Structure 1
Amino acid sequence: MLRTFAFLAALAATPMVAAADSHNYNYNSAEEDFAVFESTFGITPGKRRNHTKGFCFVGQFSPVDPAILAYTSSPIFKATSKVNGRVSHKGGNNQTPDNKFSDRGLAFDITTPDGDYHVMGLNTEDFFPASNPADFIDLVRTLPRGADAVKALAAERPELAAYLKHHKHDREKVNRPYEGTTFNSVNAFYLVNGNGERTAIRWSMVPTTAKDFVVPESEDFLMENMNANLAAGNVSWDMVVTIANPGDDPDNAAIQWTGEHKKITAARLTVMSTASEADGECDAMNFDPTVLSDGFELSDDPVLAARSAIYAHGVGVRLGEK
């Protein structure tokens, strides 16, 4: 982590000019956009301002299908690597109840036997509500004003309208444990092989078995539930890579990739143990999804740059509060 922290901190101080189209708002820096999250989700000192409630895990990341090596030279697909990670609830409430459906997150870093480093950050959403940071910050700013204000914003934003229709009405909303939940990369990246050929991808972390609730449900039971499932057997997700079709736009996270796609089960993430944030390592970690191993490259999706800058600023703020 130390070898990436200076780079991440520098990003936090870099102006982040977003495409604010016809609006008069200023989205000039990670600090300003971070303040919008604070005003919307509140502040729990020493904690993340979004995905505030969560717990840590350690595990391993292992190659599965060598077919992925035709697309990338990344070392994460060549040997079993160490993992430090975190599962979380979306939103800024550190007391969010575990026994109600909500969007959730899975974030982890991968350290290969040779010391290469790779970070993944995924969510249960199928796609993003905006293709650019300015429109997303507009949404975050609007949330405290209630559902009617969000609907009014969506009437002006086709991307947000499509997001709300799918995520609020079309998809199944069933509460599941973290270990029984599918998480999605949302943003696209490129795989790069030894010949320099680039292939756009997204991916999902898909549970390898249908894990369910095995302890009595309460407002704070998901860590206990994962531990019970660990004691009973395997807790793991497969990394299922979706290869972009010619018409897919890798730079727009607000567009869902639909229809038939080539998929490769590239690797498996296996949990070995869990820990509270007080006892584990994940609370101080910055899960910046732009930190990639060789054999991966960023797309030109502007949301990725925004996430990186806001995360870097956020980790400095919360560590300074401890």
Structure 2
Amino acid sequence: MKDATLASSAVFDAEEGFDAFEKLFGVTKGKRRNHTKGFCVEGIFAPVDPRVRTYSSSPIFSGTSTVVARVSHKGGKANPRDDQYGLLGMGLEITTANGDLHVIGMNTEHFFPVATSRDFIELLQAKAAGPDATKAFAAQHPEFRAYKNYHEALDKTLRPYEGTTFNSLNTFYLVDAEGKKSAMRFSFQPSGEQEIVVDTHADFFLENMQKNINEGSVSWDMIVTLANPDDAILDPSKQWSGDHVTITAGRFTAQNAMPESDGQCDRLNFDPMVLSEGFAPSEDPMLRARSMIYALGAVKRLSEKD
């Protein structure tokens, strides 16, 4: 595989990264510093296409698992409006029948704005410093300019969580029973047409999902995209293009949706490095960075609740 990522020149500092989030968004005590507003979703994950078992021995592809999920707005604002377009996120903690855990964290972005954890910290710091600093950062980082241009051109139609596609951004490995690894990225795409079915207002997303669940099926298909030999698997700022082998590996079906105060998701840490047997993290250093900053954030916000 082609590694297009230059090694980061500095060791990732979780404290510095966490501080950058707080400077950019402020602090809502007891809440996540990023993806601050959200609610819980509970349901099941079941395998769909058995071809995925050729590549992975994971138990999430061999039986039905339970899921505790959280859907959210990206960013650290305490209460962004549901009736205005914005980037969204979804995290899942999947528990298999044999008690194995598999954690997934996704966003609606198609790829990451920068290639390394050091660049990500500096981007957050530049945004906190203001427009001039952000422009100066963009001038030095063509990958950030490409990210902005691509995502600004996307359709900005307002969609509820259940009508939205979420993407892994980082690369992972599927691992078969013999230990062979296959690089892949994945997305969770709505299984059907799920639309806005209630009157829109600043906080309508939960009500909308509850109504869609009550009136029919709310689900997302896990679409696995296998890497081609020339794909940049260790650089999350590089989008894969061209034809790829894809597999509809599984389906997450929502059965209930509730506020964080009534659900199980608030205290969860959606660490993307927690993987079931049959998966492995890639060597992408951004995965380690995410894991470290999520862990620090979980400790801080949960201590604020006590």
User: How many Å apart are 1:154 and its aligned residue?
Assistant: 1.2
Task: Find 2:8's aligned residue among 4, 19, 29.
Answer: 19
2:83 counterpart residue number: 99
In the alignment of these two chains, the number of paired residues is: 299
What letter matches 1:38 in structure 2?
A: E
CA distance in 1 between counterparts of 2:41 and 2:68 reads: 6
CA distance in 2 between counterparts of 1:149 and 1:265 reads: 42
What letter matches 1:199 in structure 2?
A: S
What letter matches 2:148 in structure 1?
A: L
2:71 counterpart residue number: 87
What letter matches 2:41 in structure 1?
A: F
User: How many Å apart are 1:29 and its aligned residue?
Assistant: 2.4
Between stretches 151-160 and 252-261, larger displacement belongs to: 151-160
CA distance in 1 between counterparts of 2:193 and 2:286 reads: 32
User: How many Å apart are 1:147 and its aligned residue?
Assistant: 3.8
Task: Find 1:136's aligned residue among 102, 120, 124.
Answer: 120
3-state SS of 1:284 partner: coil
Residue 292 (structure 2) pairs with residue 309 (structure 1): yes
CA distance in 2 between counterparts of 1:148 and 1:100 reads: 26
3-state SS of 1:278 partner: helix
Residue 199 (structure 2) pairs with residue 210 (structure 1): no
Task: Find 2:107's aligned residue among 117, 123, 128.
Answer: 123
User: How many Å apart are 1:45 and its aligned residue?
Assistant: 0.4
Residue 242 (structure 2) pairs with residue 253 (structure 1): no
3-state SS of 1:58 partner: strand
CA distance in 2 between counterparts of 1:71 and 1:217 reads: 43
- Residue pairs, 1:191-202, within 5 angstroms: 191-202=174-185
Gaps of 5+ in 1: 1-17, 22-26
Taking structure 1 as the reference length, the TM-score comes to: 0.91
Task: Find 1:158's aligned residue among 103, 122, 142.
Answer: 142
CA distance in 2 between counterparts of 1:272 and 1:214 reads: 17
Q: 1:49 to 1:190 in 2, by over 3 A?
A: same
1:43 counterpart residue number: 27
Taking structure 2 as the reference length, the TM-score comes to: 0.95
What letter matches 1:104 in structure 2?
A: L
Checking the alignment, whether the CA contact within 8 Å between 2:82 and 2:201 is kept in structure 1 is yes
Gaps of 5+ in 2: 1-6
Residue 289 (structure 2) pairs with residue 321 (structure 1): no
CA distance in 2 between counterparts of 1:232 and 1:266 reads: 25
Q: In the TM superposition, what whole-angstrom CA distance separates every residue of 1:118-143 from its partner, at most 9, and x where no partner exists? A: 00000000000111101011111111
What letter matches 2:91 in structure 1?
A: A
User: How many Å apart are 1:256 and its aligned residue?
Assistant: 0.2
CA distance in 2 between counterparts of 1:313 and 1:189 reads: 23
Checking the alignment, whether the CA contact within 8 Å between 2:160 and 2:195 is kept in structure 1 is yes
Checking the alignment, whether the CA contact within 8 Å between 1:20 and 1:135 is kept in structure 2 is no
What letter matches 1:317 in structure 2?
A: K
Checking the alignment, whether the CA contact within 8 Å between 1:131 and 1:302 is kept in structure 2 is no
Q: In the TM superposition, what whole-angstrom CA distance separates every residue of 1:169-225 from its partner, at most 9, and x where no partner exists? A: x22122100000000000000001112211000000000111111000001110000
2:151 counterpart residue number: 167
CA distance in 1 between counterparts of 2:134 and 2:253 reads: 38
CA distance in 2 between counterparts of 1:302 and 1:159 reads: 17
2:171 counterpart residue number: 188
CA distance in 2 between counterparts of 1:287 and 1:315 reads: 9
Checking the alignment, whether the CA contact within 8 Å between 2:16 and 2:121 is kept in structure 1 is no
Residue 268 (structure 2) pairs with residue 279 (structure 1): no
Checking the alignment, whether the CA contact within 8 Å between 2:212 and 2:218 is kept in structure 1 is yes
3-state SS of 1:266 partner: strand
3-state SS of 1:153 partner: helix
Residue 55 (structure 2) pairs with residue 66 (structure 1): no
User: How many Å apart are 1:20 and its aligned residue?
Assistant: 4.5
What letter matches 1:91 in structure 2?
A: G
Q: CA RMSD in A?
A: 1.2
